[in-house]
Structures are given as structure tokens and as C-alpha cells.
């Protein structure tokens, strides 16, 4: 049985991960208001892992409405330090505040992936990576942000690990795909179990 795979995302990074793995799939952006979904969850004390799962599920279910019997892949990532959940910085001042708050601490990237078929959740999974930022001075943060520019506003942590952001870290525990926002190894394993890709 051939399964139609659909990625519920407009992210070029997630699309590239699936393409590089040799998967045949369609992609469609989910039309969900992430902040409207997050706020009541956070107010109710949901963990960053629960928030990531809820967002991934909402995206997959939204896109699944448009594809009968397709297997829809929804994913989302939260970044947390203790109970604080971070969001993309609005401006460079907020990016600097983010980095200062992460200095000399270990934060988590929680990457959720959910499979939905015909509106029903088939599988859900979260992988977390633990990222230890070295001690950063305010002066270094300002110089770093001046070099990387607006790219700092494109990610929740105000850094890109694949670029100069790597200079912020002293230790990383977790796999590359989790850090990028789509836990590929568990996802591929489940797709093989379901007979959706060649095993």
C-alpha cells in the first residue's frame, strides 16, 4: 500500500530534512495561530514538552483536513529554561536579553513530531536536546549580534547553531535533527513500522 506523506509545514529546513532522507512527500503550511494555542496551555501550567506536542498535533490535524487517508507529519519545537518558554525575539534588544538570560546555563530544545491520518493521531513523539551556553559578557553579545544581524530574530534562541551561533556553546547533548526541529530517526523508524516507507 502506498501512503501519501504530507509535511504540515512551510519550513524550508524541515522540507530539506525529508528530501535529503529520500522521502516522497507533499508539503502544505498549517493555518493555526500558534500564540493563541500556546497562551492557554502555558497559563494552565503545561510543560514545554506538552506545548510542543499540542502545536505539532494542531498543525497535523489542520493539514489532514485537506488530504483523505494521507499520513500527515506535524512538528513543532519549544525552547525552555526551567519553566520559562522562549519565543522568537521581536527585536535586537530582546535577542540580547535572550542570550544574556541563557549565559552560563543549560536550556532545552523540545522537538515534537505527530502523525495524523483522517483526523486521528497515529503516533506522537518528543526528543529533547540540552544546550549549555558558555558564560557570555554583554559586550560579546552586542558584538556577536552586530555580526549576525537580523538572522538572530529568525530563531527562538536568537542563535543559529549552523552559523556563528556555535560560538555561544560549551556543550551540546542531543542529536542534530532534534536541534533542527524534526526528530528524524524516531520518525523514520515509525514510518517503516507503518509500512509507509521502504523497510
Q: Which residues are part of the catalytic machinery? A: 76
Q: What's the rounded Cα separation, in Å, for the pair 135 and 163?
A: 19
Place of cell 536550556: 107
- Name the region of 169 (left: φ>0; alpha: ψ -120 to 50; beta: rest): beta
Residue at grid coordinates 498535533: 57
DSSP 120: E
Q: Are strands 120-133 and 84-86 parallel, antiparallel or unpaired?
A: unpaired
Is 60:116 a contact under the CB 8 Å cutoff? yes
Q: Which residue has the cell 522521502?
A: 23
- The answer to whether 18 and 7 have CB atoms below 8 angstroms apart is yes
Amino acid at each position: 500500500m502506498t501512503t501519501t506523506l504530507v509535511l504540515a509545514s512551510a519550513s524550508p529546513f524541515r522540507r530539506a530534512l525529508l528530501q535529503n532522507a529520500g522521502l516522497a512527500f507533499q508539503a502544505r503550511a498549517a493555518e493555526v495561530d500558534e500564540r493563541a494555542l500556546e497562551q492557554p496551555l502555558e497559563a494552565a501550567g503545561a510543560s514545554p514538552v506538552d506545548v510542543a506536542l499540542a502545536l505539532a498535533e494542531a498543525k497535523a490535524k489542520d493539514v489532514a483536513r485537506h488530504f483523505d487517508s494521507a499520513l500527515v507529519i506535524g512538528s513543532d519545537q519549544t525552547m525552555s529554561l526551567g519553566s520559562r518558554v522562549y519565543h522568537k525575539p521581536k527585536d535586537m534588544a530582546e535577542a540580547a536579553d535572550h542570550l544574556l538570560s541563557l549565559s552560563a546555563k543549560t536550556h532545552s530544545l523540545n522537538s515534537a513530531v505527530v502523525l495524523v491520518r483522517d483526523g486521528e493521531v497515529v503516533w506522537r513523539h518528543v526528543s529533547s536536546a540540552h544546550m549549555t551556553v558558555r558564560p557570555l559578557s554583554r559586550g560579546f553579545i552586542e558584538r556577536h549580534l552586530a555580526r549576525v544581524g537580523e538572522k538572530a530574530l529568525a530563531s527562538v534562541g536568537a542563535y543559529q547553531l549552523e552559523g556563528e551561533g556555535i560560538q555561544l556553546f560549551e556543550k551540546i547533548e542531543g542529536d542534530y535533527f532534534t536541534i533542527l526541529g524534526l526528530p528524524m530517526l524516531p520518525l523514520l523508524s515509525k514510518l517503516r513500522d507503518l509500512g509507509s516507507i521502504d523497510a
